[in-house]
């Protein structure tokens, strides 16, 4: 490995931490299964659930409300499997929120990073749809943010900004709208950008 490759890898950091998928065979449990623990995880909007004394993992508060999860509730194996699936979806959601805490991302970028972390497609789609609905992921706002940063940094053309946005997974119409919105606020010096390229 060359020094250049080493420094690039160091700048990028390590690969994302893997998402640990919970796997429990409820066939080994005696029916009816019983919810033996329900505890809110402070400040997270999640609840940790145990069945028959075994901690299953964290689920969202709305899942607990929708399913009527409470201590002492009896569950069939099918219901326990659905609870486990909800735990795995919630793990992907938590990872997505961790990624968004670092910086805003497009839905495509977020999907790619979650795949790299080992998440399966169904929980990824569920998490992204939830984050879109809640406004944590907004491709149009993200595109405006990137376009504004590129325009203000100078030395870029409209075409270059479109290219950057498309590389980040922004749809063509969303990219165009972001650039128009940005240009309404900030003047893009395309002549200066072309001159800078020629001078290089």
pLDDT by residue for the chain (200 residues), tens only, comes to 444 444 344 445 556 678 888 899 998 888 889 999 999 999 888 999 999 999 999 999 999 999 999 999 999 999 999 999 999 999 999 999 999 999 889 999 999 999 999 999 999 999 999 999 999 999 888 888 888 887 777 767 778 888 888 888 888 888 888 878 777 666 555 445 444 444 55
Residue 13's nearest CA partner among 131, 116, 163 is 116
pTM of the full structure: 0.77
Helical spans, DSSP H, in the chain: 3-12, 61-67, 77-102, 107-116, 121-134, 139-153, 158-167, 172-185, 190-199
> Cα 189 from chain centroid?
35
* Sheet with 33-41, edge to edge strand ranges: 54-60, 46-51, 33-41, 74-75
Residue 176's nearest CA partner among 188, 166, 187, 190 is 166
Joined tokens for residue 200: 């290089």
């Amino acid at each position: 490995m060359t020094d250049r490759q080493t420094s690039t890898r160091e700048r990028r950091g390590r690969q994302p931490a893997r998402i640990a998928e919970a796997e429990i065979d409820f066939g080994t449990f005696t029916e009816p299964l019983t919810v033996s623990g329900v505890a809110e995880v402070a400040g997270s909007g999640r609840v940790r659930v145990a069945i028959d004394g075994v901690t299953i993992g964290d689920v969202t508060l709305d899942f607990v409300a929708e399913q009527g999860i409470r201590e002492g509730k009896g569950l069939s194996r099918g219901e326990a499997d659905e609870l486990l699936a909800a735990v795995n979806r919630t793990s992907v959601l938590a990872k997505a929120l961790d990624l968004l805490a670092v910086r805003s991302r497009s839905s495509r970028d977020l999907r790619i990073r979650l795949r790299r972390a080992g998440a399966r497609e169904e929980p990824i789609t569920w998490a992204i749809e939830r984050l879109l609905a809640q406004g944590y992921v907004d491709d149009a706002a993200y595109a405006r943010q990137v376009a504004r940063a590129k325009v203000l940094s100078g030395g870029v053309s409209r075409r270059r900004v479109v290219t950057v946005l498309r590389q980040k997974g922004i749809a063509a119409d969303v990219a165009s709208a972001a650039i128009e919105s940005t240009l309404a606020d900030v003047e893009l010096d395309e002549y200066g950008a072309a001159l800078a390229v020629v001078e290089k």
